[in-house]
Amino acid sequence: MGEASAREGRTTEWLLRGFALLAYGFAVSNLAGAWWGDPSRLTLLLLLLTEGYTLLLVMLARRASIRDMAPLTVLATMYAAFFFVLLDPRDTIRLVPEWGGVALQTIGTLWQFSSKIFLGRSFGLLPAQRGLVMAGPYRVVRHPIYLGYLISHVGFLLVNFSWYNAAVLLLLYVAQVHRILREEAMLAADSPEYRDYQRRVRWRLLPFVY
C-alpha cells in the first residue's frame, strides 16, 4: 500500500469512527428516551450499553496495516455502525417476556466480551489486517463477535418485534456477511496461517449452519 493510499485509509477509518460516535449519540436520544419512559424495558438499555462498549473498542483500535476500501465494503461498514439508530422502540410486540430477551442479550454480550478480550486492540470497523487471533471463542467459529451480536439482536427483536425492526436487523446481517467474506478474503490472501485456520475452524458465524 502506498503512502497516499495508507493516508486515505486512515482518514476514511477516522471518519467512520466519528460517524459511529455521532450515530451512538442519536441512538441514546432515541432508545434511552424510550427506556426512561418505561424502565422495565431493559432490552433497550442493554442494547445501548453493548453498542457503547463496541464504540469504545472502535475508538481504541490498533491501526490496521491493510484495509478493505472497496465502496460496497465501506457502505456495509457504515450501515453496521449506524443500524441501531434506525431501530424503533415504539409500537412493538413482545413475542417473549422481557426477561427472555434480557437472558439472550446477556448470553450474547458475555460471548462478545470474551471474544473481544481475546481480540484486544485488533478490533475495528473496516475489514482489515490487524493481526491474527485464533484462540478462545475463535476456536468455535471464525467470527465469534458477530455470533454474540446475533444472539443479542435476536433477544432484542423477540421483545421489541415489528416488521420494520426485523427488516433493519435483516439488512444488518446482509452487511455483516459481506464484511465477513471481504475480511476473510483479505486475510487468506496474505496469510497461509489464516488459510490453515479456515480449514481447522469450519464455521464462519453459526456452528453447523454457516
Q: Could you tell me the domains of the chain?
A: 3-200 (1.20.120)
pLDDT tens by residue, 67-102: 666 788 888 888 887 888 889 998 999 999 999 999
Percent of the chain that is helix, strand, coil (3-state, to 5): 70, 5, 25
What pTM was computed for the model? 0.80
Residue 16 near residue 81 (C-beta atoms within 8 A): yes
What does the alpha-carbon distance between residue 22 and residue 25 come to, in Å, rounded to a whole number?
Answer: 5
Cell of 144: 465469534
Backbone angles phi, psi at 140, to 5 degrees: -95, -55
Mean pLDDT, rounded, of the chain: 82
pLDDT tens by residue, 29-45: 778 778 888 889 999 88
